[in-house]
Amino acid sequence: MIEVKGLTKYYGRHMAIQDLTFDAQRGEILGFLGPNAAGKTTTLRILAGYMPPSQGTARIAGFDVLEQSLEVRKRIGYLPETVPLYPEMSVWEYLDYMGSLRRVEDLEERISEVLEEVQLEERAESYIGNLSKGLKQRVGLAQALLHEPEVLILDEPTIGLDPAQIIEVRHLIQKLGKDRTVLLSTHILSEAQQVCDRVLIINKGQLVAEDTPENLQAQISGADQLVVRASTETEALRDLISLIPEVTEVMPGEVEGEVFVMSVPGKDIRPEVARKIVEAGFDLLELRLAGLSLEDIFLQLTKENTHLKEGG
């Protein structure tokens, strides 16, 4: 559905993305993960037909984004990062305008459907300028879904939404991703993990890793890391857990009674930890795999770049 080869983009002399190659199948949700200025928006803009690449090719549904731009643009729904909308138009007017430009059939009916999908039915007559940031985001999303595109390109779709909304939008994306291709960018690792079938990590314009979220996390962490909390003092807990042979390091956590445990990879020590704590007569309050922050991953990726590429 999406085939990208050697994509490179210069802004003047500044190289924003370098030699990106990847693809995505129908029914796949592909996540684009990277820190600020990694080149996510640049890549998505090229794929959406907003600007041409400096080098390389990209094809969407078999059409070249440069040579057959119009065909590509008919088939994509795009939510730009800044969600640009006309403040002086009402939600309905705006969707009517975009829908006419996109030749949507049975437009009125379709607008009602989409408004329901993003839960904006009650604000159809509101002026966009009077909507909150999150509601504007939903108008942007509605606009991207209006013509039922085969490919959805979403640049940080959950930014600015409240937690309940974030969950809803993620569900919506997952639902949409069943029968179409979704390409979304984010710098939230947990979002990529939850929503995406596959994740591309890019940094400074280069692809540094590509895999399923589970594999990435497993490869990256190298050692298993746990967060453990029990009804005792940190010191006591620390001594107790240190007795387990696979444990390499135990560090104090953020609150009293919490520790951060590193162990040798490959063996799940959670049952052992639980048993130790209960046998010692304490209550086990929390035991979970520690999520890594994106920053941690990047630190590791820059160190283990080659290893990861083989792995992916």
Residues that bind other proteins (CB under 8 A): 11, 45, 48-52, 70, 73-74, 76, 78, 80, 82, 84-86, 88-89, 93, 97-98, 100-103, 143
Q: Is 303 helix (H, G, I), strand (E, B) or coil?
A: helix
Q: How far is the CB of 44 from other proteins (least distance, A)?
A: 10
137 makes contact, choosing from ligand ATP, other proteins, Mg ion, none, with CB < 5 to 8 Å by partner type, with none
Identify the sign of the CA torsion 61, 99, 196, 21: positive
Q: Does 37 bind ligand ATP (CB under 6 A)?
A: yes
Nearer Cβ to Mg ion (64/81):
81
DSSP 284: E
Q: Does 16 bind ligand ATP (CB under 6 A)?
A: yes
Contacts of 68 (CB under 8 A, 6+ apart): none
Q: Does 38 bind ligand ATP (CB under 6 A)?
A: yes
Q: Does 10 bind ligand ATP (CB under 6 A)?
A: no
Residues 232-271 that bind ligand ATP (CB under 6 A): none
Residue 64 pairs in a beta bridge with 59
Identity of the amino acid at 141 = L
Q: Does 203 bind Mg ion (CB under 5 A)?
A: no
76-79 and 151-155 strand pairing: parallel
Lookup: tokens for 311 = 């792995």
Residues 55-114 that bind ligand ATP (CB under 6 A): 81
- Integer Cα distance of 141 and 129 in angstroms: 16
Q: How far is the CB of 119 from other proteins (least distance, A)?
A: 21
Nearer Cβ to other proteins (82/248):
82
- Name the segment binding Mg ion (CB under 5 A); options: 34-42, 100-108, 189-197, 198-206: 34-42
C-alpha distances (whole Å) from 191 to each of 21, 93, 157, 196, 259 are: 23, 32, 10, 8, 25
